């Protein structure tokens, strides 16, 4: 184990597991308690348009994915609230449009698109130092916004009608929450890919939600569990020569099943 730490790509991978765990632990808690898992999936897939745009204009796809994901998040929120269409319809429309735009942009870009599979399914061993810096900055933004607006996010998560009565601009904070999901998607995409982001955003928080309903504890436990499980998945993928993103998700899924059985056992024993 110690000898592999001398490699820079392994050091970057371990740092990436910590950074993604912070994002998915904090924002994933809001995703689970607000039951907006499908929305987070829509945002993550729409972000593929930003990945394709990066290839087209010749800049890091992570950079172009940031504004693209935020616009997609706000678009989903506004369409679902303002337009006379159901939320799942709005998500489905933007989901497919984002993926289609990504394909078009990549098709128009000169040459071959390197590491495209990594953006779709994740490859933690290819995370460069530049992307780690971006991930760190996005994590800091997420932490700052959650600290500043913790009470408001808590209010809209549990009683949106009451929050509106007491003067909280619920629609604005709902859009801000979706924007936090968009930032988290960008943080997670290099580790598990666009296709699998939804699992990393939801599974750690879902595991913790079975044992505590305190939001602060749920966030902290989600971060800790995510660090342990993503690191375990990475090490298994490294030593067994498996796809890193898929292996991490399988470890998370197995952990969720085990935690559910433990919870069920406690329920029946009581």
Quick check: 61 and 190 in contact, CB under 8 A? no
The alpha carbon of residue 199 and the mean position of all alpha carbons in its chain are separated, in whole angstroms, by 8
Contacts of 27 (CB under 8 A, 6+ apart): 142, 180, 181, 183, 184, 201
Question: Sorting pLDDT into bands at 50, 70 and 90, what band is 266?
Answer: low
Tell me if 270 is assigned to some domain: no
On whether the CB atoms of residues 217 and 209 are closer than 8 A, the answer is no
Is 252 a domain residue?
yes
- Collapsing DSSP to helix, strand or coil, 8 comes out as helix
Give pLDDT tens digits for 176-228. 999 999 988 888 887 888 878 888 889 999 999 988 888 999 999 999 999 99
Both tokens of residue 56? Answer: 């087209």
How do residues 81-135 score in pLDDT, each as one tens digit? 676 667 777 788 888 888 999 999 988 988 777 677 778 887 888 888 888 898 8
- On whether the CB atoms of residues 253 and 199 are closer than 8 A, the answer is yes
3-state secondary structure 220-270: HHHHHHHHHHHHHHHHHHHHHCCCHHHHHHHHHHHHHHHHHHHHHHHHHHC
Non-local (6+) Cβ contacts of 192 within 8 A are 20, 121, 122, 199, 200, 245, 248, 249
| 167 within a domain of the structure (yes/no) | yes
User: What count of Cα atoms within 13 Å lies in the side-chain half-sphere of residue 94?
Assistant: 29
> DSSP character for 5?
G
Assess if residue 269 is contained within a domain. no
Nearest by Cα to 146 from 22, 26, 66: 26
Q: How far apart are CA 175 and CA 113, in angstroms?
A: 33
Nearest CA to 256 out of 197, 200, 199, 207 is that of: 207
> What is the CATH classification number for the domain harbouring 29?
1.10.3470.10
The answer to the question of residue 29 being in a domain is yes
Asked if residue 54 belongs to a domain, the reply is yes
Give 45's pLDDT tier (boundaries 50, 70, 90): confident
What domain range includes position 229? Answer: 2-264
The answer as to whether 71 is a domain residue is: yes
**In-domain check, residue 148:** yes
Number of folded domains that form the chain: 1
User: Mean pLDDT across the chain, nearest whole number?
Assistant: 86
| Among candidate residues 229, 197, 231, the one with its CA nearest the CA of residue 11 | 231
What whole-number distance in Å separates Cα of residue 219 and Cα of residue 26? 5
Residue 270 has pLDDT above 60, yes or no: no
- For residue 76, what pLDDT is reported? 82
- Predicted pLDDT of residue 218: 93
Measured in residues, the chain has a length of 270
- Is the alpha carbon torsion for 220, 170, 202, 49 positive or negative? negative
């Amino acid at each position: 184990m110690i000898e592999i730490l001398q490699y820079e790509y392994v050091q970057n991978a371990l740092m990436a597991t910590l950074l993604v765990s912070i994002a998915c632990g904090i924002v994933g808690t809001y995703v689970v308690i607000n039951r907006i898992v499908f929305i987070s999936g829509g945002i993550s897939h729409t972000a593929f348009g930003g990945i394709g745009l990066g290839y087209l204009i010749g800049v890091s796809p992570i950079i172009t994915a940031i504004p693209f994901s935020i616009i997609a998040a706000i678009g989903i929120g506004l369409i679902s609230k303002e337009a006379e269409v159901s939320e799942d319809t709005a998500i489905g429309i933007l989901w497919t449009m984002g993926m289609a735009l990504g394909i078009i942009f990549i098709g128009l870009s000169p040459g071959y698109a390197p590491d495209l599979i990594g953006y779709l399914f994740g490859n933690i061993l290819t995370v460069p130092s530049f992307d780690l810096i971006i991930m760190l900055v996005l994590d800091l933004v997420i932490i700052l916004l959650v600290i500043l607006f913790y009470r408001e996010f808590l209010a809209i998560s549990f009683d949106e009608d009451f929050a509106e009565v007491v003067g909280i601009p619920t629609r604005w904070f709902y859009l801000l929450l979706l924007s936090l999901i968009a930032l988290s998607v960008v943080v997670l995409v290099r580790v598990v890919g666009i296709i699998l982001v939804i699992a990393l955003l939801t599974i750690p928080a879902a595991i913790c939600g079975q044992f505590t309903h305190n939001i602060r504890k749920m966030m902290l436990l989600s971060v800790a569990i995510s660090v342990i499980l993503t690191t375990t998945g990475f090490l298994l993928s490294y030593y067994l020569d498996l796809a890193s993103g898929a292996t991490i998700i399988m470890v998370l899924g197995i952990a969720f099943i085990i935690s559910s059985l433990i919870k069920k056992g406690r329920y029946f024993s009581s």
